[in-house]
Amino acid sequence: MELTVLDQNNDAAAAAAGGCSTGSCGTTDDQMSHLPDSIREKVENHPCYSEEAHHYFARMHVAVAPACNIQCHYCNRKYDCSNESRPGVVSELLTPDQAVMKTKAVAANIPQMTVLGIAGPGDPLANPERTFETFRRLSEEAPDIKLCVSTNGLALPESVDELAKHNIDHVTITINTVDPDIGAQIYPWIYWNNRRIRGRRGAEILIEQQQKGLQMLVDRGILVKVNSVMIPGVNDQHLKEVSRIVKEKGAFLHNVMPLISEPEHGTFYGLMGQRGPEPEELQDLQDECAGDMNMMRHCRQCRADAVGLLGEDRGEEFTIDKIEQMNIDYDAAMQTRKVVHEGIMEELHEKQEKKRRLAAVSVSANDATPQANTRPALMAVATSGGGLINQHFGHATEFLIYEASPAGVRFISHRKVDQYCIGNDSCGEKESALAGSIRALKGCEAVLCSKIGYEPWSLLEEAGIVPNGEHAMEPIEEAVLAVYQEMAAEGKLEEPQPEAAVSQTASA
Amino acid sequence: MSLAIVDSCVNCWACYDVCPSDAIYQSSPHFLIDTKKCTECEGDYAHPQCASICPIEQAILDASGMPVNPYGSLTGIPPELLEDAMQEIQSR
Ligand code: SF4
Ligand code: SF4
Ligand code: SF4
C-alpha cells in the first residue's frame, strides 16, 4: 500500500524544494527490535521513528507556533525553526482552529496519516496557548491521531504537566550540547524570566532545562527523542557524549542531523562561513553514536507544515481555502482509518517476517563460501519510495546509501544531490550539477537505479562507481545483496577499494 | 513614551506574546507598536519585553529613536571584531 507520490518536477514543487523532496528512506535491519515491548508498540506505526513504518504511514505537521524564546546560530527567524525544518522554508501559519480543521481533513483523506506534530515555525512550547489548544481539541475530537511536539527545551519543564494530559506520547528535544562553553558558541542568547540572557550563562540555563525536561518526561513514561545538529569544530566530537548521556537518561532515539548553512539562508553560521559536515563525517559520527544508541538515519528534516509520507509533501492539496470547502464527517473517517491501519500493520508484520527469513538465508549462504570475509562495500540507491529501486538516476534528488558486508545489508544514510536534469528545460547547468551528484556518491562502489543516461554512466565509471540498472523495481535490500554477491563472485572484493572511493569505507 | 518597530522586523511574533500592555499588533509589512498603549513596560518589568525577546538587531527603537539592540548586540560580536570571528569560524 502506497500513497501516490506527487509529481515534484513542477515549478511549485521546485519552489518548495527547500522542504522535503521526493524519495524514500532506508530500512535497516529491524531497528525497533531491541526496544522493550511497551515502547515498541508506541512507535511501531510512527513514520518518523520506525524505518519500516514510514513507507506506509504518513505524518503531518501544523504550523501554529510562530514565536521562539532562544536564538540558534543556524536559524534565520524569517523562516521556520531550523531544528525541525531545512532552513529557508516558510510555513503557512494557522490558528489552532484552522489547524484542527486541517488535521481532520487530512486524516479523513489520507487514512494512513497517524501522527500530527507541532514543530514550529518557532518553538511550540514558547507558544503554549496556541500549541495546547490545538492538542486539547485534537485529543477530544480525533482520538485516533497520535500527537507529537518538538522543542528546544527551554520551556519544557513547565510544560510537562500539560503535555501529559493529552494524547501526547512523543516529544522531540533538540540537544546540541551538555557543555555551556560549547553552548555559548551555538546559542548567543535566550529569553528567560523576562530578560535576555547572553552567552555562557544563557546556554547553561538552556542545558539545565533540557536535561530536566528530558528527565521529567521519561519519569512520566512519555517517549523522548533527541535531535542534535552536527556542527563541525563546535560540537561534533562532543555529540558522542551527548548521545551517551541522553541514552542513560532514557531517550529512546538519538538523531544526529547535519548543519545546513547555506549563506543564502541568512543564518549567522551561513553568513559567517561555518561549514556543515561532509557526508562521511556525518556518517562516521552516526556510526560512533550508534554503538551507544539507536540512530534515526532516515530523518528528512521536514518542513513545519509538511503533509504526507516522509520525504513527500502533499500540503498543496490541503490549503486553508480548500479545507474550508471540505465537509468532514470524522466519525465515519475514523471507521475507515481503523480498517486501513489494521491492513497496514498486517502487511508490515508480513514484511518483517520475510526480512528475517532473508537475513537467515544470506548469512548461511555466506557462511558456506570463502567470501565470508569479504570487505564491506557502500552502494547508493535511487528510489522514489516503497522500498524499491524505482527511480531514474537523473531524477534522484537524493540517494540512499547502504552498506553490504558478509553480515548483511544495512542502511547508512541519505545523501542529497542537486538534480542535474529536471525535464526538458533548464538543463544548462547540467554538467557541473552532474559532477555534484557524483561527488555526493563519494565512497560508493555502485549506484543502483531504474535507468541511467549515457553521459552520467561514463562519468560514474570514471569516478570508480559502477552504475547498475539491472535491478529496477526490485526490493532494495535484496538487490544490494545481489550486487554485493556479484562483486564477490567477480573477485572485486578481494582487491582494495578503487582509489577514488577509498576515503569513505576506510573508517565506516 | 513608546518603543517602535521598524523595517528590519521579520514578523516572527515573539514580541507580540510577551508585551504586558497588549500594545503590539500585526500589520503590513511588519508588526507595529501602538504608541498610546506602550508603557515601555514601566511598572511591569525592568526591561522592555519586546526588545528583550526580539531576535533581530535594529528592529526596535527606543523613545529617542536609537535601536535597543544595535548591530552586534545579539550575535555577541561587535562589528569591529566581525572579521576575526569570521576567520575563526571558517577555520573549523
Ligand atoms: S529553536 Fe528553532 S526557531 Fe528557535 S532559534 Fe532555534 S532553530 Fe530557530
Ligand atoms: S515596551 Fe513593553 S509595553 Fe511597550 S510594546 Fe514593548 S513590550 Fe509592550
Ligand atoms: S520580535 Fe522583533 S522581529 Fe519579531 S515580530 Fe517583534 S519586532 Fe518583529
Atom of ligand 2 nearest to the CA of B39: 3
- Looking at beta carbons, which residues of chain A come within 8 Å of B85? 272
Q: Which of A85-99, A231-245, B3-17, B74-88 has the lowest mean pLDDT?
A: A85-99
Q: How confident is the model at residue A345 (pLDDT cuts 50, 70, 90)?
A: confident
Q: A246 and A308 share a domain?
A: yes
Q: State the number of CA atoms in the 13 A half-sphere of A260 facing the CB.
A: 20
Determine contact, residues A468/A448, Cβ cutoff 8 Å. yes
Q: Which of A89, A95, A94, A152 is nearest to A123 (CA)?
A: A152
| A82 touches B at CB < 8 Å | no
For the ranges A31-35, A42-46, A340-344, A398-402, the lowest mean pLDDT is seen at: A31-35
From the CA of A150, the nearest ligand is: 1
> Taking CA atoms, what residue in A is nearest to B77?
A188
* Residue B30 three-state SS: coil
Domains and CATH numbers, chain B: 1-92 (3.30.70.20)
Average pLDDT over residues A141-154: 93
Last residue of a domain, one of A288, A323, A358: A323
Runs of H (alpha helix) within A220-329: 239-249, 268-272, 279-292, 320-325
CA distance A446 to A408: 16
Q: How far apart, in whole angstroms, are the C-alpha atoms of residue A79 and residue A304?
A: 10
Cβ of A122 closer than 6 Å to ligand 1, yes or no, is yes
Q: Are residues A184 and A46 in the same domain?
A: yes
What's the pLDDT band for B25 if we cut at 50, 70, 90? very high
Are A308 and A419 in a shared domain? Answer: no
Query: Can you give the residue range of the structural domain that contains A433?
Result: 366-489
Residue with cell 500540503: A315
Is residue A473 within 8 A of residue A390, CB to CB? The reply is yes
Bigger pLDDT: A110 or B27?
A: B27
Neighbours of A501 (CB within 10 A): 21
d(CA A454, nearest CA chain B) in Å: 39
Closest CA relative to residue A117, chosen from A81, A149, A152: A149
Does the pLDDT of residue A460 top 50, yes or no? yes
Q: What span, in angstroms and rounded, lies between the C-alpha atoms of A132 and A164?
A: 11
Q: How far apart are CA A22 and CA A10, in angstroms?
A: 12
Give the atom of ligand 1 at the shortest distance from the alpha carbon of A152.
Answer: 1
Q: Are strands B24-25 and B32-33 parallel, antiparallel or unpaired?
A: antiparallel
For residue A236, the model assigns a pLDDT of 95
pLDDT reading at B48 higher than 90: yes
Nearest protein Cα to ligand 3, atom 2: B54
- CB A71 less than 6 A from any atom of ligand 1: yes
* Residue A315 within a domain: yes
Point out the ligand 1 atom lying closest to the alpha carbon of residue A74: 7
Residues A299 and A373 in one domain: no
Instruction: Out of A290, A323, A356, pick the residue that ends a domain.
Output: A323
As given in the structure block, the three cell numbers for residue A282 are 556525518
Least confident of A15-19, A252-256, A487-491: A15-19
Residues A404 and A269 in one domain: no
Residue A442 lies in a domain: yes
Judgement on whether residues A314 and A385 belong to the same structural domain of the protein = no
Nearest to B89 among A69, A191, A273 (CB): A273
- For A424-450, write each residue's pLDDT tens digit: 344 444 445 677 778 788 889 999 999
Q: H/E element holding A347?
A: helix A330-367
B16 Cα: distance to centroid of ligand 3 (angstroms): 8
* Alpha carbon distance B13, B30 (integer Å): 10
pLDDT tops 70 at residue A19: no
From chain B, pick out residues whose CB is under 8 angstroms from the CB of A189.
74, 76
Residues A230 and A136 grouped into a single domain? yes
Terminal Cα-to-Cα distance of chain A (whole angstroms): 34
Rounded to a whole number of angstroms, the distance from the CA of B33 to the nearest CA of chain A is 17
Stretch among A348-357, B19-28, B74-83 having the lowest mean pLDDT: A348-357
User: With 50 as the cut, is the pLDDT of residue A154 above it?
Assistant: yes
Positions of E strands within A79-167: 113-118, 146-151
Is a pLDDT exceeding 80 seen at residue A254?
Answer: yes
Determine the Cα–Cα distance for residues A252 and A72; give it in Å rounded to an integer.
24
Give the closest of A78, A127, A194 to B45, CB-based.
A194
Strands (E), A242-365: 253-258, 307-308
Q: Which are the contacts of B79, defined by CB distance < 8 A and separation ≥ 6? A: B71, B72
Distance of CA B31 to the CA centre of its chain: 11
Q: How many domains does chain A have?
A: 2
Torsion of CA A78, A83, A88, A91, to 10 degrees: -70
What are the pLDDT digits (tens) for A260-312? 888 888 899 999 999 999 988 988 898 888 754 444 554 544 444 555 554 56
* Nearest chain B alpha carbon to A130: B17
Residue A155 makes CB contacts below 8 A (sequence gap 6+) with A69, A123, A125, A126, A128, A209
pLDDT at position A40, please? 67
DSSP 8-state code for residue B59: S
B17/A273 Cβ within 8 A: no
% of chain A with per-residue pLDDT over 90? 37
- Domain presence at residue A494: no
Q: A276 and A382, same structural domain? A: no
- Beta-carbon contacts of B59 under 8 Å, excluding residues fewer than 6 positions away, are B5, B6, B7, B8, B9, B10, B67, B69
CATH code, A422: 3.30.420.130
Measured CA to CA, the distance from residue A20 to residue A304 in angstroms comes to 10
Q: Give the Cα separation of A492 and A484 in Å (integer).
A: 9
Q: Which residues have C-beta within 8 Å of that of residue A160, sequence separation ≥ 6?
A: A213, A216, A217, A220, A222
User: A133 and A272: one domain?
Assistant: yes
Ligand 2 pocket check for B3: Cβ under 6 Å: yes
pLDDT given at position A367: 47
Q: Whose Cα sits closest to atom 1 in ligand 1? A: A152
Rounded Cα distance between A503 and A94, Å, is 47
Q: Report residue A78's pLDDT band, with 50, 70 and 90 as the boundaries.
A: confident
The last residue of one of the domains, among A254, A289, A323, is A323
Its pTM stands at 0.75
ipTM: 0.97
Whether residues A155 and A221 share a domain: the answer is yes
Shortest distance, CA B60 to any CA of chain A (angstroms): 15
Q: How confident is the model at residue A67 (pLDDT cuts 50, 70, 90)?
A: very high
pLDDT of residue A4: 30
Domain identity same for A281 and A137: yes
In this prediction, residue A44 has a pLDDT band, given cuts at 50, 70 and 90, of low
Instruction: Return the pLDDT at A41.
Output: 67
Q: Supply the CATH number for residue A24's domain.
A: 3.20.20.70
- Average pLDDT score over residue span A109-113: 84
Dihedral, CA atoms, A471, A473, A475, A480, nearest 10 degrees?
20
